Chain A
Amino acid sequence: MNLKLSLTIAIAICLFGTIAWELYWRSQGYYPDVDNDEALFAVQRNRAEKASNSDVILIGSSRIHFDIQLDIWMQETGIKPIQLAYPGATPLPVFDDLVNNTNFVGTIIVGVTPGLFFSSTTTEKRAYRSANDKVEYYHDQTYAQRINHLLSIPLQQNLAFISDADGVDAIKLQFLLEGIQFGNRIEGNDFPPFPNFADISLDRNLRMTEKTVTDTSFARLIKNVWSFKSTPETPPREMSKDSVMKLFTKDAKIFQERGGNLVLLRCPSTGYYRKKEENFYCRDEFWDELLKQSGAKGYHFEDYLQLKDLDCPEWSHLSGEDADFFTTEIAKIMMADKAIPFNPKTN
């Protein structure tokens, strides 16, 4: 047995195979990127522990995640916000966690995406569970998990095949195997392909890819997902207005009473989503009522001439360029209102 020879051969072949694997995926259009996972969320959540009263925390769903560009906000206000929004999730668990598990008395800007915000207050529902899982992960995170995340960052940033993406973008062996379908033993999954359409950076700044803006057939894929088996007239599957109002206003009161500054933000939507929101989340019953009950300042994109006609390439989020514009304008509006803190020394 010549184990040294075997090991040398193993390392050489494995290295060759890994390089070939990486080159193959790059040739398929993949590039190194960071995973928008719970570990990345936990790093930002940890920043909230030491945040001062001049800091700003963004929470919400994907709209505030896409539409507020952190560097632009920093340019305008001199303060870099902490991004704790999460796609497909309600902000309620994150808000509840910030209010009850930190002493933060700065500004929390809550992105209100009606379909998700008013969806649920229990972990039985996906939108709530998704955010709650991130919060729990943060509190349960071990030191080993933190180190693993730190060590994985250089790999994620330099290797295209290191990716946690699932669905049509999956590269991980398990997800590739799950994609193999044959026979008709069970009904096939007719859910349309849902490609990734944004890039995230280490500070969790999310930005729509250029392809989504310029390639209408690609944007159509995303639209197919949003409107899957549903029209603007189809009632939402999950809605829980009263319990959401109750939970949110309870936390809002606690936060405001201890000196925190609460701001609500309604980001743009168009097409299918705009119509659906008009049909089922009429402004006076939801948005206005939420402002009234929570006592928070509110900013609705429809109220501003320069924002109300912004276009969302896939009905729900702004392109990178429009997100820059939206961030600039909304920051100016909020500053003019003295609704948010700003640092005149750096802006």
Chain B
Amino acid sequence: MLFNSLSFVVFLVIVLLLYYSKFLNWTNKKRMLLLASYIFYGLWNPPLVILLWISTVVDWTAGKKLAIENNQRKRKMWLLLSMFVNLGFLAFFKYGNFLLENFTTVVNAIGFDFEALPMDIILPMGISFYTFQTMSYTIDMYKRKIEPARTFLDFALYVTFFPQLVAGPIVRAKDLITQFYEEKKATANQFFWGIFLLTIGLFQKVVMADTLLSNTSDTVFGSDKLLHGVDAWIGTLAFSGQIFFDFAGYSTCAIGIALMLGIILPDNFRYPYASLGFSDLWSRWHISLSSWLKDYLYIPLGGNRHGITRMYVALMLTMLLGGLWHGAAWTFMVWGGLHGTYLILEKLQKQYLPFKITKWNGIFLAFITFSCVNITWVFFRAREFDTAWSMIKSMFYMQTDGEKILGSFDVLKVSLVVGILFICHWLMRNTSMKAVSLKTNPVVLGVFWAFMLFLIIISQGSGEQFIYFQF
């Protein structure tokens, strides 16, 4: 089920009515939320709920055993079982075809004539999110960082909680499971703020991403022509804006919906396009994934504890795997590799060419960071290397005979939208939406809110899927 659909509106109203009804006690409210979450997921493809159940049962069992087991070897076995099941799901459903294709290429390259039929595997929505979330529980249990969930119901709800089930934020057990122990009820202000966040999220998705930017991005990346530099840049900027509004929109909706239930989810985006460098970027973009990768991949790989070279290797490996997390294609690896390279170069700059960031050079640095990020988006969006390389050549004016495919209005529209997006991020980078709204006159806030609602309605979103569902 999608947040930007009529069925979700009805679903949410029913859930809220039941949640705030007097005839259900807290345990039954949690049961209702769990059932609602399975319905939320199952309305897309019912059989794939079984994967959620398997993941839940395996990690619940592993967590329980890890809590009581003292034999280190057995503890490791329980952890490996959890990893095997979750990563096994990912390997089969998400990377099955990719692995097969690459295996075939390698086998053919060494002289064997082998042709494999592509496997017709459906990608379960949000599998990368819920497997990472549930794995964090068993890893934290293994490291004795957290207490086991008190009941199976609490744990199952943690794995399946519908607002963040299919596209995050990826929430840690200590931040979410404990919230299920006591009855939660949103205050009036929390409830209204939740509705406001839901409106902002839908506005970002339906109006900004789908209505204003997606078509330009699709036109440019779907073109098989050699493009003029302006068209290549505008298409890339359009995608840059689209993916931010799409993904941040989902996270904002998720946070808002959870807040309407009195549950607090962590921020996932903090104005990332005004980042001052790449370390800053990754503390602002998809925060829940970057902190997951840091805690469960970068640090176990050695982090910065074993010298500079090992740190760079760990950093690069983390970013490459982070790229692969987004999709089963080499283009995603390149995307991750570019970010890894940027991070290493930034560390070298800080070591050998340090300089102080002031308010004067800050916006310039943010602009440079944003421009470099845009280059990486080309590899993220293009499905083939040829397309990506052709786009890059156009962007750097290496194709003088590139064709213009975008009209003047498209160029102006994308430039304005992404330009305003960048300026807004810059102005907001040290504050928050909540802080700004506290200072805003309620009437002005109401008019702004109405403007967003009205544009959502007249956009008549056709229920476009969120980009990150495929990851």
A interface residues with partner B (beta carbon < 8 Å): 1-14, 17-18, 21, 142-145, 147-148, 151-152, 155, 161-164, 171-174, 177-178, 180-186
Contacts and interface: CB of A to CB of B under 8 A. Distances in A.
B450 A17 contact: yes
A9 B45 contact: no
Nearest to B7: A147
B211 A13 contact: no
A197 to B, nearest CB: 22
Contacts of B45: 142
Contacts of A2: 442
Nearest to B192: A3
Interface residues of B, number: 51
B454 A144 contact: no
B245 to A, nearest CB: 14
B349 interface: no
B314 interface: no
A126 to B, nearest CB: 15
Contacts of A7: 192, 195-196, 446, 449
B442 A151 contact: no
A338 B414 CA distance: 62
Given A2-B442, A13-B446, A162-B460, 4 more contacts: A3-B188, A147-B43, A151-B10, A174-B212
B215 A152 contact: no
Contact of A13 (B46, B438, B447): B447
B459 to A, nearest CB: 4
A11 B212 CA distance: 24
Interface stretch (B16-24, B338-346, B376-384, B399-407): B399-407
A183 B44 contact: no
Contact of A186 (B199, B210, B405, B447): B405
Nearest to B2: A144
Instruction: Determine chain A's interface SS by DSSP, over half rule.
Output: helix
A331 to B, nearest CB: 37
A1 B408 CA distance: 42
Contact of B212 (A9, A148, A177): A177
A145 B463 contact: yes
Nearest to B45: A142
Nearest to A37: B462
Interface centre among A143, A155, A164, A184 (most CB of B within 10 A): A143
Contacts of B390: none
Contact of A173 (B196, B449, B458): B458
B2 to A, nearest CB: 7
B427 interface: no
Contacts of A184: 408
Contacts of A151: 6-7, 10
* Best-surrounded residue of B188, B407, B408 (most CB of chain A within 10 A): B407
Contacts of A162: 460
A148 B447 contact: no
A20 to B, nearest CB: 10
Contact of A174 (B2, B210, B409): B210
A172 B450 CA distance: 18
B268 to A, nearest CB: 22
A8 to B, nearest CB: 7
A187 to B, nearest CB: 9
Contacts of B1: 144
B2 A9 contact: no
B10 A1 contact: no
B220 to A, nearest CB: 13
Contacts of B44: 142-144
